[in-house]
Structure 1
Amino acid sequence: MPKDATAPGDVQFVTVHGKRRAFVKTGSGPVLLLLHGLACDRTTWDRVIPILAKKYTVIAPDLLGHGLSDKPRADYTLGGYANGMRDLLTILGIDKVTVVGHSFGGGVAMQFAYQFPERTQRLMLVSSGGLGSEVTPLIKLIQAPGWEGLMRVLTMPGIRHLETTTLRALSSRGGPLRKYTRDLHEAATIVESWRDRHTRFAVRHLVRAVIDWRGQIVTMSDRAYLSESMPMAVVWGRDDQVIPVRHSSNVAALAPNASVTVLPDSGHFPHRDHPEEFARLLDTFVSSSAPSVYNRAKFRRMLRRGTAEAPTTLVSADTA
């Protein structure tokens, strides 16, 4: 890490396999790894990091192709991202973490837990991909022919400023349309990031790896039984317009030992809409669950059997 990256909360950099990765590391205590969603970056967690850092070591990276991390021609699959997180944690001297993943980052979190169960203590999914096929058509359009050319036009300085100003103004409006406009401030931030052609390149390759015209390709349903021995929690915003909140109900069938919380008056970013409540939910989850202990023999038996050894009952904690 660079010598000037010493203050807690400052962005730090480390080079992994020749590619520079940006991250924030702050606080002390048990380690939380916070993984952002598609086209976002570590700043999506800005409202909860100061709260969590009072009790935990918080690591919030910019995934490859996002934020201040490099945006090369590279592996933008879930497995590639999981490997990158393992390597980052290894360099930082951290063996075990509670992984928290938002949206696409939820898919990365699930993949990390699957590939590296010996390093995963718990898993929290926030408005996560991988729990159903539906996703907003706006993300599907990223694959469409002509998207790159259209984005070059829409992110030109004058046009971009008009777009982002309008989106942010709409996001602050109340009334009956609030459920549809709530997340437009984050959409404006994404539009700002797309002025960089390297970012657009990375996002398009990422989308192609996990989504097709029918919706999400990657699902945890075929491997959900492996979560039987790992504490798991799910948090969703009731007004999510990106990934339907009904996907949270699939958890009962996929991982019946998981807790599920649906937050009212919240969209696709519940950790930004209700940072204190989100931090409380995460702290309660960590404090009330024993960390997963990897047992190779048990893991092998579950893989051979293809089902969980001892399914438990869903614990639902709907705060609505």
Structure 2
Amino acid sequence: MAEALKRKAPKAAEGERPIDGGARERLLSGMPLTGRARDLAGISTAVLEGGDGPPIVLLHGPGEYAAKWIGVFPDLVRSYRVIAPDMPGHGNSVVPGGPIEADRVLEWLGALIEHTCPNPPALIGQVLGGAIAARFASRHGERLSRLVLVDALGLAPFQPAPEFGRALADFIADPTEDTHDRLWRQCAFDLDRLRDRMGDSWERIKAYNLDRARTAALHATQQSLMEQFGMPGIPEAELDRIAVPTTLIWGRHDLATRLSVAEDASKRYGWPLHVIEDAADDPPIEQPKAFLKALDTAFSHS
């Protein structure tokens, strides 16, 4: 799996042109947030911001971007000040020179919180974003009000189901519409139902997924983040230092990080675990109502 993640995605296959620059604009159209660029730890970062209330920061998964929270934005901005960045090397946040050290990533997150949150936010991290969020909470828990880990990497070494690993390797090596859908059949519990429910929004997400996967400037940083945060397990001593209230939200059918990993972490650290039915590793997009309900429960408990 490590070797698969090191492969560079090639140019678009013959007959498949890369999506033009309008893919992002089409995806963001109508979202109840405002996009802006912020310089954070020397990284020009695309950030979506909107709503009023207690601040929450949303960190997405590998190869994704802030707009992937599309299914929960409308509800969240009614009650919270929402801050959703494109993480370094993702979306429109390009890191000059490619690879980035782990300490600089945590510095970047600290700068994001400093410049966007008037008081300590709830930090919600999914998959790769969850591993980064957990590492930050271990070192800087006083800067957070709570932590929510959604199908997070880092709680154990990355050992996905074989079928997930093959689909991921194929997409990294050759990002086409076919390999994209084959990967998403592993990421979603029921891709057909998801596509039918989302309609045009799904097509816009797919278009931007492919556009970013074919953007060579992002590959080195994404690989670096996975190698440093996503693939190794965070040492237990580091997880033991997380003192901020922490909740786990997990898709029952996650093939990237099995539910048993979350169950073990819940028992060891006393973190409440909310299991989302009929979801794999992306409950916010596959089961947004159930995800929001779990989030409300997490926020209502100290």
- TM bracket (short chain): 0.7 to 0.9
Superposed CA deviations along residues 95-147 of structure 1, whole A, max 9, x for unmatched, are: 41111000011111111112212211101000011111243268878999xx9
Please name the residue that 2:236 is paired with. 221
Please name the residue that 1:56 is paired with. 80
Q: Is the 8 A contact 2:254 2:280 kept in 1?
A: yes
TM-score, normalised to structure 2, is: 0.75
Residue 47 of structure 1 aligns to a residue in which SS?
coil
Superposed CA deviations along residues 165-219 of structure 1, whole A, max 9, x for unmatched, are: 6767996437xxxxxxxx9x978864442111012222222223246xxxx3231
Q: Is the 8 A contact 1:12 1:22 kept in 2?
A: yes
* Aligned: 1:286 with 2:299: yes
When residues 172 and 250 of structure 1 are mapped into structure 2, their CA distance, relative to the original with a 3 A threshold, is closer
Range moving further from structure 2, 133-142 or 15-24: 133-142
Q: Which runs of 5+ in 2 are unaligned?
A: 1-30, 194-201
* Aligned: 1:206 with 2:219: no
Residue 78 of structure 2 aligns to a residue in which SS?
coil
**Alignment equivalent of 2:105, drawn from 65, 77, 81:** 81
* Aligned: 1:42 with 2:57: no
* Aligned: 1:238 with 2:257: no
Matching of residues 1-40 of structure 1 within 5 Å: 9-40=33-64
Q: Is the 8 A contact 2:50 2:83 kept in 1?
A: yes
Superposed CA deviations along residues 71-107 of structure 1, whole A, max 9, x for unmatched, are: 3225534433221011122223534111100001111
Q: 1:77 & 1:239 partners in 2: Cα distance?
A: 32
* Aligned: 1:120 with 2:157: no
Matching of residues 90-101 of structure 1 within 5 Å: 90-92=114-116, 94-101=118-125
* Aligned: 1:267 with 2:286: no
Q: Is the 8 A contact 2:167 2:182 kept in 1?
A: no
Range moving further from structure 2, 84-93 or 242-251: 84-93
Q: 1:208 & 1:72 partners in 2: Cα distance?
A: 18
* Runs of 4+ off more than 3 Å: 74-79, 137-144, 161-174, 185-192
Q: Is the 8 A contact 1:242 1:268 kept in 2?
A: yes
When residues 195 and 233 of structure 1 are mapped into structure 2, their CA distance, relative to the original with a 3 A threshold, is same
When residues 238 and 34 of structure 1 are mapped into structure 2, their CA distance, relative to the original with a 3 A threshold, is same
Matching of residues 128-143 of structure 1 within 5 Å: 128-136=152-160
Q: Which runs of 5+ in 1 are unaligned?
A: 1-6, 175-182, 290-320
Q: Is the 8 A contact 1:224 1:254 kept in 2?
A: no
Q: 1:143 & 1:259 partners in 2: Cα distance?
A: 30
Supply the AA of the counterpart residue of 2:254.
Answer: D
Q: Using the aligned pairs only, state the percent identity.
A: 24
Residue 132 of structure 2 aligns to a residue in which SS?
helix
Tell me how large the CA RMSD over aligned residues is: 3.3
Matching of residues 150-189 of structure 1 within 5 Å: 151=173, 154-155=174-175, 160-164=176-180, 172-173=191-192
Range moving further from structure 2, 109-118 or 72-81: 72-81
Which structure: larger Rg? 1
When residues 166 and 254 of structure 1 are mapped into structure 2, their CA distance, relative to the original with a 3 A threshold, is closer
Identify the structure with bigger relative contact order (alpha carbons < 8 Å, sequence gap 6+): 2
Superposed CA deviations along residues 36-58 of structure 1, whole A, max 9, x for unmatched, are: 11111112211111111111111
Q: 1:279 & 1:220 partners in 2: Cα distance?
A: 30
Q: Is the 8 A contact 1:236 1:262 kept in 2?
A: yes
Please name the residue that 1:313 is paired with. none
